[in-house]
Amino acid sequence: MTDLSSKPVDDLTEQEADVELARLAKAIAEADIAYHQKDAPEITDAAYDELRRRNDAIEEAFPNLVREDSPSLNVGAPPAEGFAKVRHAVPMLSLAKAYTDEDVVDFIERGRRFFQKDEGLEIAFTAEPKIDGLSASLRYENGVFVQGATRGDGSVGEDITANLRTIKDIPEKLAGSGWPQSIEIRGEVYMTYAEFQALKARSAAAGGQDYVNPRNTAAGSLRQKDAAVTASRNLRFFAYAWGATTEDPAPTQYEAVQKFRDWGFQVSPLMVRAKSVDELIAHYRRIEEQRSSLGYDIDGVVYKVDQLELQRRWGFVTGEPRWAVAHKFPAEQATTVVRKIDIQVGRTGTLAPVARLEPVTVGGVVVENVTLHNEDYIKGFDSNGLPIREGMDIRIGDTVVIQRAGDVIPQIVRVVLNKRPADAVPYEFPDTCPVCGSPATREINEKTGKEDSRRRCTGELICPAQAVEGLRHFVSRGALDIEGLGAENIELFFSKGLVKTAADLFTLKDRRPAVQQALAERREEQARLREAASGKTRKAIRSVEDRNFEGLDKLFAAIDARREPELDRFIFALGIRHIGETTAAVLARTFGTMEELIRVGKATAAAEDPLSVFPSVDGIGGTVIEALVDFFGNERNDAALDALLAQVRPKEYKVVVSADSVVAGKTVVFTGSLEKMSRSEAKAMAERMGAKVAGSVSAKTDILVAGPGAGSKLKSAEALGVEVISEDEWFARVGR
C-alpha cells in the first residue's frame, strides 16, 4: 500500500482524503501544543507549514469533508475561557461515515458477519437526518434539567447550562412519566434558515457584523457570556441520543426517541425503522429530496442499530460506535452568474479578488460573493500550478456552478462553458493597487524561487486600504481590544481624516466636535436610508439613535483604558507580518519590554547577517526574523512607533517567580485532562510560580501532573522514575 501522507492531493479518493484530514488535524493539534509549550517543538516551522498547506489543499478539493475540529477553522481561535469544564461520564462520540451506497452495504454486511452465530437474529436499524448543528448533552435529575454541556473534545465539554435554558425546545421539566432518575439527553442545537436570515437582516440594519452560515452562528450564539443574547437567537434542539443514565430509556433506539418526544422534546419526524439496505437507502433518497425544503441544514442520514442489546455487543472502535454510520450527502450546488470581480486590499496589502454573483440560494443561504483567492485561481490553477477547473478560467458574465457544504465558505466548482457570453474576455488582474495606485507585485519566495500566488500592493503606509485594515487590526479582539471601536467607526474616522495612524486614536478626544459631527452625519444618512426602506417616521428612528449617541464618552473612556496594554497584545497589534498572537506572546516573554524588543530588532535589522544576531528562541524562525527586520529597518515605522509610544505604555511582561515556591526551577509536564483549569491556564500558573513547563517527558522532567486519561507520558514518567502527582496534589503544592 502506498503511504497516504505522500500521495498527491489530486490523486486522493474521498475516503483517503477523509483519513488524511483526520491525521492532519491530529498532527497539527499536537504540533500546536508542543509549540505553545515552547520547550519541545517537535517539528520544524517548514514541516508545520507543509502540514497546514496539505490540510488546506485537501479541504479545498473536498469541501464536504471539512472536520468540526479542522485546524483551518481554529486559526487564532482564543481558547475557550469563561465556561467551566464538564467531564462527560459517557463520552460524546463521533460517527463513521459512508459516502456511497456500497459503503452502506459494507456496514450492514459487517453487522451480519459480527452476529452470524446468532441464527435467525434480525438486526433492525433506524434512519434519521444528520442535523448540521452542535451537539449538546443535557442532564436531567428527577425530571429536572440541571446541567447542559457542549461536546468539546468528546470527553470534556463546557458548561453552557444558562444558555441552553433559553432554548424553547429544551424542557425545564420533563413531561409525562417513567423517565430514569438521572439521564443525559443528547441531541443537536441548530438554527433555522429563517432565523439566520432574520438575524442577518437585524445586524445589517444596525451596522453590525455579518454572519457566515447557520451552523457557525448557532455555535457563536451558544457560547455567549450573556444568556439574553442566546435567547434572542431562537435556537432549536432535536433529541436523538443519550449519555449516562440510571436505566435504559427503552430496549430500542426507536422507542427511546419516541419516549423523548413524550417527555417534551422535539425529535426528527423523519426517523424510521428499517430492516434492509434497500429500505435504508430508499429513506436516504427520500430525505435527500426533502433536504432543501426542511428549513435547516442537514448533511446526511444516520443509520443506527435499533436494538440496544445488539449495540452493546457490537461495541466501539476509537471514538466511534461500530453500530452506527453517517451516510453523507454530496455538497449542495447551484448555478448563477458572475456579475463582476472586485479587488479588496488587506492589511498586508494582499489583493484579494472577490466574485460578485447574481444572488442565489444554496442550501437555504443566499450567496452573493465568493472569494476567488488569487490571480492563478481565476485562471484555473492551484498554488502548485496544477489545473483545478479542467483548465477553465473565470470570466465576468460566466455562468458558474457554486457549492456550499456545511461550514465551508461557498466556492466555484465549475464554469458552464456553453453559457459563456461570446464577448467575455479573460479577466485581467490589476498590477497596480486599486486603492492607492502603487505597483502591485508578486514576491519571489527566496527559498523555493517560486512566485507568491498573491499580488501585494507595495504602497504600505501610503495605501489607505492597508492603513485602515491596520487600524482595524490594532483595535481588534486579540490586539488592543478597544470596545465600541468597530470596523465601521474606524472607516468613518479614517475617511474624515480624524485618524490616520494608531497613535491618532489616543488623541481622538481632542477632536471631539469633529468626531461628533462625523457620527451625526452618518446617523442622518442611515436614518434617511432606513426611513426610505421602512416608511417609519424620522422621529421614531431618532429616539433609537439618540440612545446610541451617548456612547461617545464611553468610547473615549474605552480608548483611555487601553493606554497600558499587555506587551504581547501590543506586539500583536502592530500588525507585523507573520507575527500572530502566539508569536507575539513568545516575543513578549523573551524580551520582557517593548524597549528591549526594539533594541534587538534594530540591531538585527542593521546587521549584515540578521540571522546570526537575533538570539535563538524556540518558536521564532527565519520568516519571523525577516519580518522583524523589515519592520524595524523601515524608518517610516520608526516615526509611527515613536508617536504611538508617546501615547501608550505597554506593560512589562513579568514572570513573577516566588522564590519560596516549591516548584520554582522544576520542570513540569501536564498530561491527561485537567478538571480545574485549562491547560493554558495551568501552564501560565506554573510559570508564574517559577516552574518550567515542557511538552514531553524526559530525564530532565521533575514532576508529571497526570489527569484522567493520561497515556504514554505517564508510562515514560514511570519508566524514568519521574515523580507523578494528581491535579489536586499539584494545587496543594502550589498553594491554591
Binding-site ranges for ligand IVH (CB under 6 A): 93-95, 128, 130-131, 135, 151, 188, 240-241, 302, 321, 324, 326
**Min. distance of Cβ 302 from ligand IVH in angstroms?**
4
* Residue among 199 and 241 whose Cβ is closer to ligand IVH: 241
Angle (CA) 87-90-94 rounded to 5° is 100
- Please provide residue 462's backbone torsions phi and psi, each rounded to the nearest 5 degrees: -80, -10
* Residue among 241 and 703 whose Cβ is closer to ligand IVH: 241
**Min. distance of Cβ 126 from ligand IVH in angstroms?**
9
d(CA 347, CA 340): 23
**Min. distance of Cβ 65 from ligand IVH in angstroms?**
12
Beta carbons of 236 and 191 less than 8 angstroms apart: yes
d(CA 241, CA 218): 20
**Min. distance of Cβ 324 from ligand IVH in angstroms?**
5
C-alpha cell belonging to residue 269: 419526524
* Residue among 302 and 436 whose Cβ is closer to ligand IVH: 302
* Residue among 50 and 309 whose Cβ is closer to ligand IVH: 309
**Min. distance of Cβ 135 from ligand IVH in angstroms?**
3
Annotate 288-353 with three-state secondary structure. Answer: HHHHHHCCCCEEEEEEEECEHHHHHHHCEECCEECCEEEEECCCEEEEEEEEEEEEEECCCCEEEE
Give me the catalytic one of 130, 200, 259, 328.
130
* Residue among 218 and 357 whose Cβ is closer to ligand IVH: 218
Q: Specify which residues 387 forms β-bridges with.
A: 381
Beta carbons of 323 and 314 less than 8 angstroms apart: yes
Q: Specify which residues 238 forms β-bridges with.
A: 188
Angle (CA) 336-288-105 rounded to 5° is 130
CB contact set of 196 (below 8 Å; sequence gap of 6+) = 211, 213, 214, 217, 364, 365
C-alpha cell belonging to residue 646: 508617546
* Residue among 60 and 128 whose Cβ is closer to ligand IVH: 128
- Please provide residue 469's backbone torsions phi and psi, each rounded to the nearest 5 degrees: -65, -40
Q: CA 476 from chain center: how many Å? A: 16
For the beta carbon of residue 697, count every other beta carbon within 10 angstroms.
23
* Residue among 324 and 724 whose Cβ is closer to ligand IVH: 324
d(CA 585, CA 567): 8
Beta carbons of 379 and 404 less than 8 angstroms apart: no
d(CA 76, CA 581): 7
Q: Which helix (H) or strand (E) holds 725?
A: strand 723-725
130 belongs to the catalytic site: yes
d(CA 209, CA 203): 6
Q: Looking only at Cα atoms, what is the longest distance across the chain? A: 87
Beta carbons of 367 and 412 less than 8 angstroms apart: no
3-class SS at 403? Answer: strand
C-alpha cell belonging to residue 722: 519521574
* Residue among 189 and 644 whose Cβ is closer to ligand IVH: 189
* Residue among 302 and 357 whose Cβ is closer to ligand IVH: 302
β-strands 332-345, 351-362 pairing: antiparallel
* Residue among 63 and 321 whose Cβ is closer to ligand IVH: 321
**Min. distance of Cβ 442 from ligand IVH in angstroms?**
41
d(CA 94, CA 713): 25
Report the residue number whose CB is nearest to ligand IVH: 135
d(CA 124, CA 143): 30
Which residues participate in catalysis according to the annotation?
130
